[in-house]
Amino acid sequence: MPRRGPKTLAGAPSIGRLTRRAEFLAVAGTRRKAVMPGLILQVRRHDGQQQPREDEPAVRVGFTASRKVGNAVIRNRARRRLRSAAAEILSAHAAPGHDFVVIARGATPARPYAALKDDLTGALRRLKIWRDPTETMP
């Protein structure tokens, strides 16, 4: 079977995806998170133990929604909305060299899309990993 390229968010080639359980657990293990009305954002800085390969983007993100959010249709809708917001916000404003896990909350499916983007922006600012797109990248 031929090797596939790294998973990225559609429309945001600078954002990779977390796909393995161990990657999600490593991000959760740092206990660095911001709780907002529409989402929870967990973050982990890359280090020697876990970091993307050279061909992967410097920012990776994973999405999750538990059964508390709703049935499968509702959970999938919540993840799609979070993926879309992350593609807009994280690609332009997340500091490189971090892994993120975005967790859906009960309010995520019904929350206005603009409010979800504001929640993600506020979470990045609260965790002090917000960068303006005009800043030079290291």
Give tens-digit pLDDT for 120-131. 999 999 999 888
Three-class DSSP category at 100? strand
Task: Report the run of H or E that residue 40 belongs to, with start and end.
Answer: strand 39-45
Phi, psi of 5 (to 5 degrees): -75, 175
What is the tens place of the pLDDT at every residue in 23-47?
Answer: 899 999 988 999 999 999 999 988 7
Domains: count for the chain: 1
Specify if 2 maps to a domain: no
Specify if 107 maps to a domain: yes
Specify if 3 maps to a domain: no
Strand 59-64 and strand 98-104: pairing?
parallel
pTM of the model: 0.82
Report whether pLDDT(83) > 60: yes
- Say which residue, 51 or 112, is predicted with more confidence: 112
Instruction: Determine what percent of the chain is predicted with pLDDT higher than 70.
Output: 82
The alpha helices in the chain, defined as continuous H runs, are 21-29, 72-93, 113-126
